[in-house]
Each structure stands twice: as structure tokens, then as C-alpha cells.
């Protein structure tokens, strides 16, 4: 009896001393998810050396901030893209613009939290370019090395939110609303014979942001949020009929685009 009483008192003491961990949130610019992407362009097998590509698509990103349940937060964006691609001897070049709009859905914070919101609007524009060196062997274009560059500008309620949330304890946010990004890419694209599908392409990419993406704000212990940096690898697939084409990309997030070439 005495032993059980001692154990109960000990457990009560522990529960009185226990404090649940405080959720520390980090908010990145939505542009980080869309700042670079695949740009279609003519191949050496095409009769025309210049083409315009127009597409619409959808992307979804789970930010995956800490702790684990932050992975429920979701970024949903619709993207409209237009670019022109050109081909010269052993060189491809493309340039264009994207327009994106959607929302950042918050599922990890309770309504009683001072930083709570249901969702906030996201919109923006991106200007992009890409240069590739390639070699043709039989039915294959080996786009050996490519250099990508993009500038993005973000608007909407989520961008405004990041400007002020860092004043709340245990909330880190990157207030930047413009990003300059670059990357390296490599791709193999080949033509088919007597098939509805005319082109297949498979690529890998390595991308980074040139901006210093510093988190603003402090936690309850006065610790700063640090910097978001580093390279993000991804892969892409390209499928084309005579005029229609499909692009799928995957890294930490995924995107799909369906377009028309003319």
C-alpha cells in the first residue's frame, strides 16, 4: 500500500513538472516550390527550329517543417506557362514566363494559437530562361549540360503574413517576396517511329536559390531561425505527340503540366 502511494505521488510530481513542447513554426516563400521548372524546346529531329509552348498545370507541396505534424500544411498552386524554344547547332535555348496562383493551407495549428489561420492566398509571376548543349546520336538528343535561371515575384496574403508573423514568439518566417534561382540540368530525349507518341524525354536537375533566405524571428529561448539554403535535386519526364505534350516533375513536391506546341 505504501509502495503504491509513493509511486502515485511520484507520477503526480512528474506530471506537474512536465510542460508540453512548444511548436516552433517556419514559413518559407511559396516561390521556393515553383522558382525553376522544366522548359520544353525543339529537338534536332523537328522540321522547325523554333516553337512556342503553352501549358497549364497543378502542383502540390507539403512543406514538412518541424515538428512532424507540420507536414499536414499544404501548398496548392495552379500554374499557367508560356515559353519559346529555339535550336541551333548543338545548342538549345528557351525563355518564357509563368503565372501561378493558389493557397497555403494551415492544418497544424489550433484555432487558439496566436498564429492560426485557415488558408492564405498565394500568387506570383516568374521569368525564366534555359541554355543547353547537346549532341545527337541516331534517334537521341543528349542534352549533356544545361544552365537554368529564373526570377520570381510573389504576391498575396501569405506573402504579407510572412512580413509580420516573425514578431510572434516561436514563429520563424522568410519575408522575401522575390527570388533569383539557378540550376544545372541534364536530359535525354528521343524520337519514336510510327507511334502516336513522337518524343520521350527524361531529365535530372540540381537547383538552388541565390538569395540569402534568412529566417526572421526568435523562439522562447531567444534562438534565431537560421538560414534556408542548399541544392534541391529533382527529376522530370517529357512526353509529346504531334502538338500536345505532358511534363511531370518531382522533388520534394510534385507538379504536372499539359500543354500545346505550335
Whether 69 shows a pLDDT value over 70: the answer reads no
Nearest to 50, CA basis, from 81, 76, 86, 100: 86
Please report whether residue 55 resides in a domain.
yes
3-state SS assignment for residue 76: strand
Which residues, in sequence order, are CB contacts of 256 under 8 Å at separation 6+?
A: 57, 58, 59, 246, 247, 248, 249
- pLDDT (0 to 100) of residue 13: 46
Extended beta strands in the chain, E state = 25-27, 50-61, 74-88, 91-105, 119-137, 140-155, 171-173, 178-191, 199-209, 213-214, 227-228, 232-240, 244-250, 254-261
Q: What is the pLDDT of residues 232-244, one digit of tens each?
A: 888 999 999 999 9
Phi, psi dihedrals of residue 260, rounded to the nearest 5°: -130, 135
Residue at 8 is within a domain: no
How many angstroms separate the CA atoms of 189 and 175, rounded?
A: 39
In angstroms, the CA 129 to CA 119 distance is 32
Q: Rounded mean pLDDT of 95-122? A: 87
The pLDDT value given to residue 219: 66
pLDDT value, residue 14: 43
95 falls within a domain = yes
CATH number at residue 89: 2.40.128
Q: Is residue 15, in this structure, part of any structural domain at all?
A: no
Residue 113, domain member (yes or no): yes
User: 212 in helix, strand or coil?
Assistant: coil
Q: Is the pTM of this model over 0.75?
A: yes
Residue 64 has pLDDT above 70, yes or no: no
- Confidence band of 63 (pLDDT split at 50, 70, 90): low
Cα-to-chain-centroid distance, residue 108: 20
Share of the chain above pLDDT 70, in %: 79
Q: Which of 108, 219, 105, 226 is nearest to 157 (CA)?
A: 105
Flag whether 18 is in a domain: no
**Is the Cβ–Cβ distance between 158 and 151 less than 8 Å?**
no
The C-alpha atoms of residue 197 and residue 137 are separated, in whole angstroms, by 20
Which ranges in 18-130 belong to alpha helices (H)? none
**161 and 172 Cβ atoms separated by less than 8 Å:** no
Domain-embedded: residue 186: yes
Look up the domain containing 202 and give its range: 27-261
DSSP 174: -
Domain-located, residue 21: no
Residue 137, Cβ neighbours under 10 Å: how many? 8
pLDDT reported for residue 81: 96
pLDDT on residue 70: 45
Tally the domains of the chain: 1
Amino acid at each position: 500500500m505504501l509502495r503504491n502511494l509513493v509511486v502515485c505521488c511520484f507520477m503526480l510530481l512528474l506530471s506537474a513538472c512536465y510542460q508540453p513542447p512548444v511548436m516552433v513554426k517556419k514559413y518559407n516563400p511559396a516561390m521556393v516550390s515553383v522558382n525553376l521548372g522544366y522548359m520544353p524546346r525543339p529537338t534536332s529531329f523537328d522540321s522547325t527550329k523554333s516553337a512556342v509552348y503553352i501549358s497549364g498545370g497543378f502542383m502540390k507541396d507539403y512543406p514538412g517543417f518541424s515538428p512532424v505534424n507540420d507536414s499536414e500544411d499544404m501548398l496548392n498552386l495552379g500554374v499557367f506557362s508560356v515559353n519559346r524554344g529555339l535550336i541551333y547547332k548543338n545548342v538549345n535555348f528557351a525563355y518564357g514566363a509563368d503565372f501561378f496562383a493558389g493557397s497555403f493551407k494551415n492544418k497544424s495549428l489550433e484555432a487558439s494559437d496566436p498564429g492560426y489561420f485557415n488558408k492564405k492566398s498565394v500568387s506570383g509571376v516568374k521569368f525564366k530562361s534555359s541554355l543547353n548543349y547537346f549532341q545527337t546520336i541516331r534517334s537521341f538528343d543528349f542534352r549533356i549540360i544545361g544552365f537554368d535561371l529564373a526570377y520570381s515575384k510573389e504576391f498575396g496574403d501569405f506573402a504579407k503574413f510572412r512580413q509580420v508573423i516573425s514578431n510572434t514568439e516561436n514563429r520563424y518566417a522568410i519575408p522575401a517576396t522575390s527570388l533569383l534561382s539557378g540550376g544545372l540540368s541534364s536530359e535525354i530525349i528521343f524520337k519514336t517511329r510510327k507511334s502516336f507518341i513522337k518524343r520521350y524525354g527524361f531529365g535530372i536537375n540540381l537547383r538552388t536559390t541565390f538569395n540569402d533566405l534568412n529566417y526572421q524571428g526568435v523562439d522562447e529561448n531567444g534562438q534565431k531561425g537560421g538560414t534556408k539554403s542548399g541544392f534541391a535535386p529533382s527529376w522530370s519526364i517529357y512526353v509529346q505527340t504531334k502538338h500536345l505534350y505532358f511534363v511531370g516533375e518531382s522533388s520534394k513536391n510534385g507538379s504536372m503540366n499539359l500543354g500545346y506546341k505550335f
